Chains A and B, each alone.
Chain A
Amino acid sequence: MDLDILIPLATLATIGRIFALIALSIITGWLLAYASIKSRRFENAYIPLTNVLESIPVIGFLPLVLVAFVLAIPGAIGVEAAVDFLVFDAVAWNVWIGVYQAFKTVPEHLLEVSENYNFGFLRRMRYLFIPHSIPRITSNIFSSFADAFFYISVSEVFTAGAVTANVCKGGVCSTFGIGTVITRFVVEGNYTGVFYSLVSIAVAVIIVTLSLSWLSRWAVAKYGVDTPGVIKRHAGRWRGRIAYPWHKWRAHQTFRGQPFPFSRYASRIRPHWHNHHIQSDRFNQAKIAKYACIVLVAAILAYLAYSSVKLIISVPIATWYGFLYQTPQLLEYVGADYIRVSVITLASLGLAIFAGYFLATHHRIGDVILPAIQAFAAFPAPTYFPLLFIATIPFLERLLPFFYTEVYIFLLGFLSCFYYVFFDFWIGVQAIPSEFLDVVRNHEIPFWARMRRVILPASLPYLITGLSSTINSAWAGMAIGEFWPDIAPKVSPNGLQAPFGMMYYITSNMAKGAIGPAAYVSLLFAVVVAIYGIFFTRNLMDLARRKYVVEEGIFAA
């Protein structure tokens, strides 16, 4: 097929797939969030599980995906299902958490109105919860889009040695999309094709970024509960202050002193039915919807659980003993990758604090630079990284013969994740009440004292959320960077391969078709992430909510 037709079509196919799965994640997010606020038990399971699943990079799901879809469902349908699952994994968690936070922070007086008028499930969703979640969703769509796009080169085309040799042509499973097209061009050494593909992606990213920015501004203006300043219409454009109001509601809802998210909030939603015959219609409606959701979610979970069990029992017991024996060494690999993640996170944090603060306090410059950063962040690094590699490997290999691999891993990891903490911190600074900034300027508090005493504490909840997303996303870049043997076969036969590391272990074993070791390390990683999430992230977030909720510093009756 002619490149003029192939490349735009492939780009449209990828974007269509991403947005279809974003739509699916929004709909499922609504249902799951509603279930969370209705049932504390569900909430207590849902949130930690989402946090853990969010942390595992897409590539960590590859073993499960292979067993559940590629091997179980024959032909192109199985491959497409696998690809869709991987893309869904990249987009869903961000949207789910955002919707959940929006549902949790619906203003009390609006809830009371819905109870006053005996709203059932559908009306509540239609008139209250869904509109309330729109600003949050539109702001999170960008991150989801960027995440999904980052992964297109590993989600649209993958291989697992002997496992996929029998089910996919040439052992490589792929579906139609720009990720597949670029991978093919790189392998063929067709750099003209790569270049035009990148141009096509750049155009698509810019259009999507600008559209999402407009959509986000419109959503805030229309659905924001407390829009700061005056929203003016000038020649059809909505204009307002950049401090989007949804983060005024974030992460600080408490009920009877119980810290969110283990809030007793769910128990407050008890509709008071006054009229029996109206009541029974609505009651049935709610019951049907509730049971339908339970059945659907249970079916999906059951299928995934079945696939997981199938994967586990396919591995002989002796092999399991071998894995257990290797656990200490594997944990060392996990530790090595955590050191890499820490370096990447610190660099991202440094950039976020200085650049983010500057752009948040210099609005005119921010209005220009921020969309450019957004567009750059959305542009998938794995698509242009081979070109960067080709351009720099000759002198970097000479300059840092033993260290150049780490530089590339750092770069890829940084590019995959810096945006989250940067953007969240920027939002956090925007959300600082103007009165606080007035006090800081009125008393001429110098820069470092200002950052230490006011800016960083005031933006701490946002910083923690941003850091959490940054750390989770850093794994993605490292998963690609630690094992990329065919990054530029004609220039570097060995490609990019880390000497050691958890992600190297997973991806190199997957490439050989050794699903067992890869799955075992993924499981170890999931356990470490869960422990880290519970003892570190959760406690830090609780501390932020207890002491650093900046909105509570403004007393306005």
Chain B
Amino acid sequence: MTTNAVINALPGQHGQAELACEDLGFAYGTKFIFKNVNLAVFNDELVAIIGPTGTGKSTLLRTLAYLIPPTTGHVLLDGKQVTRPSSTISLIHQSIATFPWMTALDNVKLALICKRTPHDEAVQISKKMLELVGLKADENDYPKEMSGGMRQRVAIARALAASPAVLLMDEPFVHLDELTADGLRKEIYSLVFNPETSLKSAILVSHNLREVVQLADRVYVMNGSPASIVDEIKIDLPRPRTERDSRFLDYIDQLYDELSLKTARV
């Protein structure tokens, strides 16, 4: 399915995708991890990618960020082909990467170096991002002095400080307890649609189907070997979403069935 077909197939979506890929494929040597992947994410949209472990979802995200160049196909950002990594597409890793020799504030400021932001302005922006993620009081702490949840919030603050248009999140809550994760999910959701940030859209990789239904507008199902997008499901629930809504559980069941069916077929 080409990107244009994707755009045309979506009712209510108009104009260009914020981030899209066409016939994207990645191989180690001659072995393709995924192939012929076509997906798109639009403005004010959060899209999720689900699939069994080992299908290459994390690799797909890194390819979308162009941190690893694709073997086939290309990535388009606002209609233009992406040829190198850029902070406009910001990635939050599954294993939280915070530099242990820098304070939380310095970790966030790292995202502003390439923009040659004056020092005072960089400090101001970084403090604002840390406040946004609830770490105002911890800006001078080192990652070692923080919990996993706090470090993840530093990583999110850093990703946002770069003023990205697209946020790619690779299982960002997998290491966190449910309470912390729930709080962060709500924060991230509000950030995606917050006019104060430059963020226009987000792509989330997750194994947690509840989280996916809670956050995503659309869900791509990835499966196979080499992997590809085998299905796409629109989550048509009003926001804010609640698990008490029977349709919420129906969507979870639907996604579960999708994964089981696709796995069985494969």
Cα separation A547 to B65 with both chains bound (whole Å): 30
Partner of B100, one of A442, A449, A552, A557: A552
Contact of A443 among B95, B101, B110, B175 (CB under 8 A): B110
Mask, B54-94, CB within 8 Å of A = 1, is 00000000100101000000000000000001110111011
CB-based contact A439/B97 at 8 Å: yes
Contact A444 B148 (CB under 8 A): no
Which of A435, A443, A458, A554 neighbours the largest number of chain B CB atoms within 10 Å of its CB? A443
Complex-state Cα separation, A556 to B151, whole angstroms: 11
Q: Which residue of B lies closest to A437 (CB)?
A: B67
Identify which of B87, B93, B113, B148 contacts A557 (C-beta below 8 A): B148
B169 CB to nearest A CB, Å: 13
A445 to B94, CA, bound (A): 21
- Evaluate contact between B114 and A555: CB separation under 8 angstroms: no
Q: Which residues of A contact B152 (CB under 8 A)?
A: 555
Given A442-B85, A444-B86, A445-B114, do A555 and B98 touch, yes or no (CB 8 Å)? yes
* A123 contacts chain B at the CB level, 8 A cutoff: no
Chain A residue numbers with a CB within 8 Å of B91 are: 438, 442
In the bound complex, residues from chain A placing their C-beta under 8 Å from that of B28 are 230
- Contact bitstring A505-540, B, C-beta under 8 A = 1, else 0: 000000000000000000000000000000000000
* A442 near B99: Cβ-Cβ < 8 Å: no
Q: Residue A453 at the B interface, CB < 8 A?
A: yes
The bracket for how many chain A residues form the interface is 20 to 34
Q: Is A457 an interface residue (CB 8 A)?
A: yes
Counting chain B CB atoms within 10 Å of each CB, the highest count among A230, A436, A439 belongs to A439
- Which residues 351-398 of A have a CB within 8 angstroms of B? none
User: Given the known A-B contacts A438-B91, A557-B148, are A444 and B98 also in contact in the complex, defined by CB atoms under 8 Å?
Assistant: no
A433 to chain B, nearest CB (A): 7
**Does A549 reach chain B (CB closer than 8 Å)?**
yes
A553: interface (CB < 8 Å): yes
Whole-angstrom distance between the Cβ of A175 and the nearest chain B Cβ: 50
**Contact between B85 and A444 (Cβ–Cβ < 8 Å)?**
yes
Q: List the B side residues contacting A458 at CB < 8 Å.
A: 99
B233 within 8 A of A: no
Contacting residue for B90 out of A433, A442, A446, CB 8 A? A442
Contact between chains at B144 and A441 (CB < 8 Å): no
Q: Given the known inter-chain contacts A441-B85, A445-B113, A549-B100, please indicate yes or no for A554 contacting B95, CB distance below 8 A.
A: yes
Query: In the complex, what residues of A have CB within 8 A of residue B93's CB?
Result: 435, 438-439
Report the bound CA distance from A548 to B86 in whole Å. Answer: 27
* Nearest chain A residue, comparing its CB with the CB of B68: A438
| B51 adjacent to chain A (CB < 8 Å) | no
A444 and B114 form a contact (CB under 8 A): yes
Decide if B162 is an interface residue (CB 8 Å cutoff): yes
Question: In the complex, which range does the number of interface residues on chain B fall in?
Answer: 20 to 34
Q: Which residues of B contact A549 (CB under 8 A)?
A: 100
Residue contact B101 to A547, C-beta cutoff 8 Å: yes
A454 at the interface (CB under 8 A from B): yes
Are B102 and A557 neighbours in the complex by a CB distance under 8 Å?
no
B116 CB to nearest A CB, Å: 9
| Cβ–Cβ contact A547 & B113, under 8 A | no
Known: A442-B90, A444-B114. A553 touches B98 (CB 8 A): yes
Q: Does B203 contact A (CB under 8 A)?
A: no
Interface status of B25 (Cβ within 8 A of chain A): no
CA A230 to CA B85, docked complex, whole Å: 25
A64 beta carbon closer than 8 Å to chain B: no
Cβ of B143 < 8 Å from any Cβ of A?
yes
Contact A443 B114 (CB under 8 A): yes
Residue among B89, B98, B175 having the largest count of chain A Cβ atoms under 10 Å: B98
Contact digits for B111-151, partner A, Cβ 8 Å, 1 yes 0 no: 10110000000000000000000000000000110001001
| Residue of chain B at shortest CB distance from A549 | B100
| CB pair B162 A553 closer than 8 Å | no
Cβ contacts under 8 Å, A553 to chain B: 97-100, 143
Query: Closest CB-CB distance, A435 to chain B, in whole Å?
Result: 4
**Is B96 located at the chain interface by the 8 A CB criterion?**
yes
* Bound Cα distance from A457 to B106, whole angstroms: 14
Measured in the bound complex, the distance between the Cα atoms of B63 and A438 in whole Å is 11
CB A454 to nearest CB in B, in angstroms, measures 7
Residue of A nearest to B147 (CB): A555
Verify if A550 is at the interface (C-beta below 8 Å from B). Answer: yes
Q: Could you say which residues of chain B place their CB within 8 Å of the CB of A442?
A: 65, 67, 85-87, 89-91, 162
Distance in angstroms from B86 CB to nearest chain A CB is 6
* Complex Cα gap A552–B146 (Å): 12
B interface residues, Cβ below 8 angstroms from A: 28, 62, 65, 67, 85-87, 89-91, 93-102, 110-111, 113-114, 143-144, 148, 151-152, 158, 162, 174-175
Interface of A toward B, CB cutoff 8 Å: 230, 433, 435-436, 438-439, 441-446, 449, 453-454, 457-458, 547-550, 552-557
Beyond the given A443-B110, A457-B101, A555-B148, could you list 17 further A-B residue pairs with CB under 8 A, ordered by the A residue number? A435-B93, A435-B97, A438-B62, A439-B93, A441-B67, A442-B90, A442-B162, A443-B90, A443-B114, A445-B113, A446-B113, A453-B113, A454-B99, A458-B99, A554-B97, A555-B151, A557-B148
Of the A-B pairs whose beta carbons lie under 8 Å apart in the complex, a sample of 14, sorted by A's number, is A433-B95, A433-B97, A435-B97, A439-B158, A442-B90, A443-B110, A443-B113, A443-B158, A444-B85, A445-B113, A549-B100, A555-B95, A555-B151, A556-B95
